[in-house]
Amino acid sequence: MVFTNRLREIRKGVGMSISELARRTEMSRANITKIELHGQEPSGFTMLRIASVLNKDPRDIFFESSGAQELQNEKENTG
């Protein structure tokens, strides 16, 4: 999987502000901003916290393709 960052897009899509996401994840606004705007790669634990609050799979937020898509690609390449 390739790291990407759709956090801002997804956060806005669910109608949540940076302040609200920071509060609900118990992170600082500065850390959320670093992840969203400056491409800081969060730890696995942080990815899970953010994904949980946004009710999304972390792969959909932070990675180019989901696990399901990778499995489909493997099937096509071996089949």
Tens place of pLDDT per residue across the chain (79 aa): 567 789 999 999 999 999 999 999 999 999 999 999 988 899 999 999 999 999 999 999 998 765 555 555 555 666 5
Single-letter amino acid code for the residue at 6: R
Whether residue 5 contacts residue 65, with contact meaning beta carbons closer than 8 Å, is answered with: no
What are the structure tokens assigned to 24, written together?
Answer: 């609900």
Q: Considering just the CA atoms, what is the radius of gyration of the chain in Å? A: 14
Q: What is the pTM of this model?
A: 0.77
